[in-house]
Amino acid sequence: MMFDHLITFVELVTTGNFSKTAECLKIAPSTLSRKIQELETYFGKTLITRDTRNFSLTTEGETLYQRFKSLPNQLAEAKQAINPEVKADSYPTLKIILPVIHALELITPYIVYFSRAYPEIKLNLFYMTWGKPSQKDVFDIAITVYPDKSGKFDQKFLRSEFVQLYCTPSYAIKYGLR
């Protein structure tokens, strides 16, 4: 029972929105809320603090998310490894966060070429209007003009041009980036 709840929790945090998550998982919003409450009961801790429009993770919720955020991908990879004849339910997703000001020059002109070269990869682009990514932002790659010296992020520096490019260590390991 809790495995499904963990997948739901990870999807909610990744999506960042109850309605979108319920729609994506094809469940009622009340079912989504119930699963999160059951997960909180199981762990005996509040994982998410909610208000009428937003939610944020508690320290315990952040810990749970960090430990299980790769679970949906691991499940899809295991399914593909066990039964390679069956196409995976979902394509891999690359989540990139970047400043709007750079999006038009750095990313947008090349999306069509990337999509043709890698049709199996789904791109999720998140645009920042100002500053650098916050700790609650969920991404595989961050493009920023501000180097992160705070140590708040679980990240690996990739390279510097006129912007700073970071990815998560798990992404770096998965794709052999050193």
pLDDT value at residue 130: 62
In eight-state DSSP terms, residue 121 is: P
pTM over 0.75: no
Q: CATH number, domain at 140?
A: 3.40.190.10
Work out how many domains the chain is built from and give that number.
2
In eight-state DSSP terms, residue 161 is: S
Assess whether 55 and 96 both reside in one domain.
no
pLDDT value at residue 158: 64
Assess whether 45 and 112 both reside in one domain.
no
Reply yes or no on whether the pLDDT at 153 is more than 70: no
Domain boundary among 24, 42, 73: 73
Q: How many residues does the chain have?
A: 178
pLDDT tens digit sequence for 14-55 = 888 888 888 877 888 888 899 999 999 999 999 999 877 788
Residue with tokens 């094809």: 26
Domain boundary among 73, 100, 126: 73
Domain assignment of residue 28, given as a range:
2-73
Q: How far apart are CA 141 and CA 175, in angstroms?
A: 12
Task: Work out the average pLDDT over 95-105.
Answer: 75
pLDDT tens digit sequence for 115-135 = 777 777 778 877 776 655 665
Measured between its terminal Cα atoms, the distance across the chain in Å is: 38
